[in-house]
């Protein structure tokens, strides 16, 4: 395993030299395939969980691994230096120190918890377990409160203004939406649907959005449960949840692989995009939006790409990447890199900006280096840099390492941490990799 990781990192290091949007930076092997769960970024680490909980550095190296030894469908999440992942098959959830990976506590829920996209709010972790929604104290794993209602609370809740919103659905029976007091678990209001709902809600600016089996997307006032609007589509929303960004709701029809952009004000469908292959495609991935770009994974039965970056204004494809296997996982994006799991067991890191995620203060994104010279790359104890203008070296997260004047420099780098750095001069830049 360690040998394979080193090979992958070295390969990624050379790929950094010419990375363009949609290029693979690195991929990290895990124990099992990624299903619906998503990576989680916290304190400059990427957390993912399949059979184990992995903490991965931004350069793709392993920081630590906690062995759960059972499959999970639950994404990790972290807060207050604690990372949590639920385990569907042994019915425990595990809380580890986010820095060291040491187990702090584990809790038996006694029922499977399909908490695909969990949340931690005000020191509490929220776990839907069959007909219960349990609020668990992050510090010690004790139960703060729980809500018991008829129906099957499935998927993930969401939070806004000291309230928790969760849907409950029982088979083909009509679903309900609950607004719950975050502090004590008291039910504030209940909204009754006329249709089953198997997807999960998302809330933004006081409006709760959710897709349903009756092909409608609903917008509900989070304060008084009044229906703001509902928008009719041609898709049944059997999984996933919406993504809200820049006055748009992005939501995918799971079984027909149609992605929608909907106006948050009036429910007007702005555009829709159909993903196709020779057999029925599906979308289990939750979209992720940054600036004017939308990222999503698609389950395709062909050699077509299955990770997409789309223009949020019209749905046009900006770039795409083909992993060669199904993608159920949802993407996360940070510092110009998209992180997403795949059914081939790997976590992928893919370039989004091209060469760097750092913006030039006076212009658009930085350009590939033409006159900027660096050697060797990867480097270990020394680095030679020739800059066409004054510049600087940054960590991958944007932290300034040092400023450099125009001209040639010989740098002693033995004390630098292993990882990825950015050398920037004017509008030019290069990624460099420090190895042992």
Tell me the domain boundaries of the chain: 2-351, 367-434
Cα-based distances in Å from 270 to 100, 128, 389: 46, 33, 45
Task: Give every residue of the chain whose pLDDT is below 70, as ranges.
Answer: 1-19, 34-36, 69, 87-89, 110-115, 150-152, 154-155, 277-279, 301-302, 353-370, 396-397
pLDDT in the model for residue 54:
94
Say if residues 46 and 40 touch (Cβ distance below 8 Å).
yes
Return the pLDDT at 129.
Answer: 79
Contact 100, 53 (CB under 8 A): no
CA 349 to chain centroid, in Å, comes to 11
CA distances from 318 to 22, 277, 300, 313, 347 (A): 9, 19, 18, 12, 21
d(CA 72, CA 52): 9
Judge contact between 59 and 396, C-beta under 8 A.
yes
pLDDT score of 361: 36
Nearest to 36 by CA among 336, 340, 386, 402: 340
The model's pTM: 0.80
Backbone CA torsion sign across 180, 182, 185, 186: negative
Q: How many helices (H) does the chain have, and how many strands (E)?
A: 1, 41
Q: Which pLDDT belongs to residue 429?
A: 76
| pLDDT for the residue numbered 189 | 97
User: 257 with 276: CB under 8 angstroms?
Assistant: yes
Give the per-residue pLDDT at 398.
74
pLDDT of residue 36: 64
pLDDT for 49 equals 87
The pLDDT value recorded for residue 10 is 40
Residue 419's pLDDT is 77
pLDDT of res. 132: 84
CA distance 107 to 143: 9
CATH class of 367-434: mainly beta
What was the pLDDT predicted at 186? 96
pLDDT of amino acid 397: 67
Superfamily designation of domain 2-351: YVTN repeat-like/Quinoprotein amine dehydrogenase (2.130.10.10)
- Taking the alpha carbons at both ends of the chain, their separation in whole angstroms is 18
**Starting from the edge strand earliest in sequence, which strands make up the sheet with 332-334, in order?**
24-29, 346-351, 337-341, 332-334
Question: In this predicted structure, what is the pLDDT of residue 343?
Answer: 86
Other CB atoms within 10 A of residue 300 CB: 24
Question: Computed from CA positions of residues 27, 32, 37, 43, in that sequence, does the dihedral angle turn out positive or negative?
Answer: negative
Cβ atoms of 84 and 93 closer than 8 Å: yes
For residues 25 and 351, what is the distance between their CA atoms, to the nearest angstrom?
A: 6
pLDDT of residue 254: 80
Which tokens hold the place of 104? Answer: 């702090």
The predicted pLDDT at position 310 comes to: 97
Closest CA to 63 of 84, 80, 48: 48
């Amino acid at each position: 395993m360690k040998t394979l990781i080193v090979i992958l990192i070295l390969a990624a290091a050379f790929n950094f030299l010419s990375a363009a949007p949609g290029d693979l930076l690195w991929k990290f092997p895990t124990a099992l395939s990624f299903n619906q769960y998503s990576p989680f970024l916290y304190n400059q680490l990427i957390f993912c969980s399949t059979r184990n909980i992995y903490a991965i550095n931004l350069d793709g190296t392993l920081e630590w691994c906690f062995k759960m030894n059972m499959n999970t469908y639950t994404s990790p999440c972290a807060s207050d230096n604690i990372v949590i992942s639920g385990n569907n098959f042994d019915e425990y959830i595990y809380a580890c120190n986010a820095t060291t990976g040491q187990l702090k506590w584990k809790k038996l829920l006694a029922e499977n918890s399909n908490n695909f996209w969990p949340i931690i709010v005000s020191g509490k972790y929220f776990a839907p377990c069959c007909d219960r929604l349990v609020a668990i104290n992050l510090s010690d794993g004790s139960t703060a409160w729980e809500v018991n209602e008829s129906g099957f609370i499935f998927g993930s809740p969401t939070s806004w203004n000291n309230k928790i919103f969760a849907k409950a659905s029982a088979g083909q029976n009509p679903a309900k939406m609950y607004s719950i007091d975050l502090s004590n678990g008291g039910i504030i209001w209940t909204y009754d649907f006329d249709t089953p709902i198997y997807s999960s809600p998302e809330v933004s600016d006081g409006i709760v959005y959710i897709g349903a089996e009756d092909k409608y997307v609903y917008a509900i006032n989070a304060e008084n449960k009044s229906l703001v609007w509902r928008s009719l589509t041609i898709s049944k929303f059997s999984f996933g949840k919406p993504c809200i960004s820049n006055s748009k709701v992005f939501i995918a029809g799971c079984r027909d692989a149609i992605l929608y952009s909907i106006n948050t004000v009036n429910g007007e469908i702005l555009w829709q995009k159909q993903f196709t292959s020779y057999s029925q495609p599906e979308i289990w991935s939750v979209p992720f939006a940054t600036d004017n770009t939308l990222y999503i994974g698609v389950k395709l039965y062909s050699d077509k790409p299955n990770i997409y970056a789309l223009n949020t204004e019209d749905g046009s494809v900006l770039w795409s990447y083909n992993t060669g296997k199904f993608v159920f996982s949802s993407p996360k994006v940070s510092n110009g890199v998209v992180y997403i799991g795949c059914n081939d067991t790997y976590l992928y890191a893919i370039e989004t900006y091209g060469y760097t995620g750092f913006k030039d203060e006076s212009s658009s994104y930085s350009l590939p280096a033409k006159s900027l010279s660096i050697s060797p790359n990867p480097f270990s104890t020394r680095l030679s840099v020739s800059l066409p203008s004054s510049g600087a070296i940054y960590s991958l997260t944007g932290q300034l390492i040092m400023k450099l004047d125009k001209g040639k420099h010989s740098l002693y780098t033995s004390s630098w941490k292993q990882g990825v750095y950015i050398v920037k001069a004017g509008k030019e830049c290069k990624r460099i990799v420090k190895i042992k």
